[in-house]
C-alpha cells in the first residue's frame, strides 16, 4: 500500500468515524431524551404546508426536534405518542389582559388600569401578573399557550405589557419577555376613566406629545453629562423612542388611528395598532406606515368606539395587504376575556381563509410581539408548544383535547 493511499484510507476512516460520531450526536438525543411525540391526521406547521399523518417530536429541552410525515420522523422507543385529528402550534394571543384583569371583576382583582394619572408607562406588567388567575387556565384549555398581556386600554399610557406562557405558578415561571410594549389609548374613554386626565382627545394627544418631548430632552441630557437623577418614566419613554419597546396604541375611530400614525411618525415610535374598528376605512394610510394591526375581538360588543366595527374586519384588512392578527382583548363585563380560538373562528367564518386565520393567531402574532424565533410555528428548534384538536380547530363542535407547552402537557381535558 502506497503511503498516499494509506493517508487516504486514514482520512476516509477518520471521516467515517467523525460522521458516525456526528450522526450519533444528532441521533442520540432523540433516542434518549425525546420527551413527547404528537401524531396528527393533519399537522399544520404554519411555516410550511399542512402534513397529512404528520409527527412532531419534542425533546427534553422542550424544543421541537423534528416535524415531518410519519414515515420520515422516527419516534424513539419509550417515547409517548399522543394522537389527534388536527395539530397546530400553540396559539399566540397578541393582546390580552388575562392575569391582570381577574375574572371576579372586583376591585381587588382588577390590576389592568391605574387611574391616578393618565400617563404611567413605568408600571410594569410583571408586578401585577397573577399566573394562577382562573382565566389563564381557561384560555390555556382553549389552546392559547403564549399571551401578550399586561396593562389594559383606558388611559393615555396605562403601563407596560409582557409576554408569558400560560403556565407556571408565578410570573417568574411564566414570563418570556418582561417588557414588550407600552399600552396607550387615544379614545374618548380616557376622559371617562381617568379622573384627573385629559378632558378631550385632542388634549390627551397634546399631553402625550409633551411627554415624549420631555423624554427626548432627558435622553439628550443623559447623553451630554451622563444624566442626572433617574426617572423611571423617562427611561421607558426613552426605550420607546429608541424603538426598543413598541407603542401599542388602542385606536378604534379613524381620528384616533390617524392620530396614532401621526404620533408614531413624529417620535419614531414602533407602532402596533390595537382595536382599529374603523381601520377598514384607512387601510392605505396604515399600509403606507407599515403598521401591524391587532384587530378588536369581533365578538366584543359593538358599542362605544366599536360602534362601526365589522365581523369581517380581519378579512378586509388582510385583503388590503396589512399585517393582521387577532386578540382576546379587554372586556369590562361578562365575559372578562374573549377567547382567541373563537375569535379565529369568527375571522374564518367571515371570509379569512383557514390558512391565513391560523397564521394570524400563531406566526403572525408571534412576529408582532417579537417572539417568532421561539413560537408561532412547528419548526425544529422552536418551543414545543402544540394544540391537539378532534376536528377543524375553528368549528364550534371541535374540542381542544390536549395543550402542550415546551413539551409538557398542561391541559388534557377535552374542551
Partner 1 sequence: MTRTTLRSCSVGERYSLGERPSALAVGAFLVAALLLAGPLSAQEQPLAFQGATLVPIAGPPIQDGVLVVHRGEITAVGAAGEVDMPGNAEVRDVSGMYIMPGMVDTHSHIGGGDGGDRSAPIHGEVRILDALDARHDRIRTARAGGVTTANIMPGSGHLMSGQTAYVKLRDGRTIYDLLLCDDVRTEICGGMKMANGTNPIGSPPFPETRARSAALVRAKFVEAQQYAGRVQDANGDPEQVPARNLELETLMEILDGRRIVHFHTHRHDDILTAIRLSEEFGFRVVLHHVSEAAMVAPEIAAAGVPSSIIVIDAPGGKLEAVNLTFDAGAALEEHGADVAFHTDDPITDSRVFLRSAGLSVRAGMSREAALEALTLAGARMMDLEDRVGSLEVGKDADFVLLTGDPLSVYTRVQETWIDGIRVFDLDDPEDRAYAVGGYGVTPDQGGHHHGMGGH
Mark the segment that binds partner 1 (CB under 8 A) among 6-14, 243-251, 265-273, 294-302: 294-302
CB atoms within 10 A of CB 5: 9
Q: At what angle do helices 232-241 and 201-225 cross, to 10 degrees?
A: 90
Q: Is 353 in the site for partner 1 (CB under 8 A)?
A: no
Q: Which is nearer to partner 1, 209 or 399 (CB)?
A: 399
Q: Is 331 in the site for partner 1 (CB under 8 A)?
A: yes
**What is the rounded distance in angstroms from the CA atom of residue 167 to the CA atom of residue 404?**
10
* One of 302, 319, 408, 409 touching partner 1 (CB under 8 A): 302
Q: Which is nearer to partner 1, 1 or 334 (CB)?
A: 334
Query: Of 57, 51, 64, which Cα lies nearest the Cα of 81?
Result: 57
Is residue 357 within 8 Å of residue 394, measured between CB atoms? yes
Q: Is 384 in the site for partner 1 (CB under 8 A)?
A: no
Q: Is 102 in the site for partner 1 (CB under 8 A)?
A: yes
**What is the rounded distance in angstroms from the CA atom of residue 169 to the CA atom of residue 173?**
7
**What is the rounded distance in angstroms from the CA atom of residue 356 to the CA atom of residue 288?**
21
Binders in 34-73 for partner 1, by CB under 8 A: none
Beta carbon of residue 314, minimum distance to partner 1 (angstroms, whole number): 12
Q: Which is nearer to partner 1, 310 or 371 (CB)?
A: 310
Please name the helix (run of DSSP H) or strand (run of DSSP E) that holds residue 40, with its range, or none: strand 34-43
Q: Is 138 in the site for partner 1 (CB under 8 A)?
A: yes
**What is the rounded distance in angstroms from the CA atom of residue 290 to the CA atom of residue 272?**
10
Q: Which is nearer to partner 1, 25 or 334 (CB)?
A: 334
Mark the segment that binds partner 1 (CB under 8 A) among 25-33, 263-271, 370-378, 393-401: 393-401
Binding mask 103-132 for partner 1 (x = CB under 8 A): xxxx---x-xx-x-----------------
**What is the rounded distance in angstroms from the CA atom of residue 258 to the CA atom of residue 281?**
11
Q: Is 337 in the site for partner 1 (CB under 8 A)?
A: yes
Q: Is 399 in the site for partner 1 (CB under 8 A)?
A: yes
* One of 87, 181, 346, 401 touching partner 1 (CB under 8 A): 346
CB within 8 Å of 338: residues ≥ 6 apart: 297, 299, 300, 327, 328, 329, 331
Beta carbon of residue 321, minimum distance to partner 1 (angstroms, whole number): 20
What are the strands, taking DSSP E only, across 45-120?
51-59, 64-69, 81-89, 91-96
With CB under 8 A as the rule, give the number of residues binding partner 1: 52
Go through 328-361 and write b for each residue having 16 or more CB atoms within 10 A of its CB, e for each that does not. Answer: bbbbbeeebbbbbbbbbbbbbbbbbeeebbbbbb
Three-state DSSP class for residue 384: coil
Binders in 190-229 for partner 1, by CB under 8 A: 193
* One of 58, 67, 131, 135 touching partner 1 (CB under 8 A): 135
Beta carbon of residue 303, minimum distance to partner 1 (angstroms, whole number): 5
Name the DSSP class of 381: T
Q: Which is nearer to partner 1, 174 or 341 (CB)?
A: 341
Is residue 376 within 8 Å of residue 363, measured between CB atoms? yes
Beta carbon of residue 370, minimum distance to partner 1 (angstroms, whole number): 27
Q: Which value, to the nearest 10 degrees, does the dihedral of the CA atoms of residues 274, 275, 280, 284 take? A: -20
Q: Rule CB under 8 A: which residues touch partner 1?
A: 101-106, 110, 112-113, 115, 134-135, 138-139, 152, 154, 193, 278, 281, 299, 301-304, 307-312, 331-339, 342, 345-346, 348-350, 394-399, 415
Amino acid at each position: 500500500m502506497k503511503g498516499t493511499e494509506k493517508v487516504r484510507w486514514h482520512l476516509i476512516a477518520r471521516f467515517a468515524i467523525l460522521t458516525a460520531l456526528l450522526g450519533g450526536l444528532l441521533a442520540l438525543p432523540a433516542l434518549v431524551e425525546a420527551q413527547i411525540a404528537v401524531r396528527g391526521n393533519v399537522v399544520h406547521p404554519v411555516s410550511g404546508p399542512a402534513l397529512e399523518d404528520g409527527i412532531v417530536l419534542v425533546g427534553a429541552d422542550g424544543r421541537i426536534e423534528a416535524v415531518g410525515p410519519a414515515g420520515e420522523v422516527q419516534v424513539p422507543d419509550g417515547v409517548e405518542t399522543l394522537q389527534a385529528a388536527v395539530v397546530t402550534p400553540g396559539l399566540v394571543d397578541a393582546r390580552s389582559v388575562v392575569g391582570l384583569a381577574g375574572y371576579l371583576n372586583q376591585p381587588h382583582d382588577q390590576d389592568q388600569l391605574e387611574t391616578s394619572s393618565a400617563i404611567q408607562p413605568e408600571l410594569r406588567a410583571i408586578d401585577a401578573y397573577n399566573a394562577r388567575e382562573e382565566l389563564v387556565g381557561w384560555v390555556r384549555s382553549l389552546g392559547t399557550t403564549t399571551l401578550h398581556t399586561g396593562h389594559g386600554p383606558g388611559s393615555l399610557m396605562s403601563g407596560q405589557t409582557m409576554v408569558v406562557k400560560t403556565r407556571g405558578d408565578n410570573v417568574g415561571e411564566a414570563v418570556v419577555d418582561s417588557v414588550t410594549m407600552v399600552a396607550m389609548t387615544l379614545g374618548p374613554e380616557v376622559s371617562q376613566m381617568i379622573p384627573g386626565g385629559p378632558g378631550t382627545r385632542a388634549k390627551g394627544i397634546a399631553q402625550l406629545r409633551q411627554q415624549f418631548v420631555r423624554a427626548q430632552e432627558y435622553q439628550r441630557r443623559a447623553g451630554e453629562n451622563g444624566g442626572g437623577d433617574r426617572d423611571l418614566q423617562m427611561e421607558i419613554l426613552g426605550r420607546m423612542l429608541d424603538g426598543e419597546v413598541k407603542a401599542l396604541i388602542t385606536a378604534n375611530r379613524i381620528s384616533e388611528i390617524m392620530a396614532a400614525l401621526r404620533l408614531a411618525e413624529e417620535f419614531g415610535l414602533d407602532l402596533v395598532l390595537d382595536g382599529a374598528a374603523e381601520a377598514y376605512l384607512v387601510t392605505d394610510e396604515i399600509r403606507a406606515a407599515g403598521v401591524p394591526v391587532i384587530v378588536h375581538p369581533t365578538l366584543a360588543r359593538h358599542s362605544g368606539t366599536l360602534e362601526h366595527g365589522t365581523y369581517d374586519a380581519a378579512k378586509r384588512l388582510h385583503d388590503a395587504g396589512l399585517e393582521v392578527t387577532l386578540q382576546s382583548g379587554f372586556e369590562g363585563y361578562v365575559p372578562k376575556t374573549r377567547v382567541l380560538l373563537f375569535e379565529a373562528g369568527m375571522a374564518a367564518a367571515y371570509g379569512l381563509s383557514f390558512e391565513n386565520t391560523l397564521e394570524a393567531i400563531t406566526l403572525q402574532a408571534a412576529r408582532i410581539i417579537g417572539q417568532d424565533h421561539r413560537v408561532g410555528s412547528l419548526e425544529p428548534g422552536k418551543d414545543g408548544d402544540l394544540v391537539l384538536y378532534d376536528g377543524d380547530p375553528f368549528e364550534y363542535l371541535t374540542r381542544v383535547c390536549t395543550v402542550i407547552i415546551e413539551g409538557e402537557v398542561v391541559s388534557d381535558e377535552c374542551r
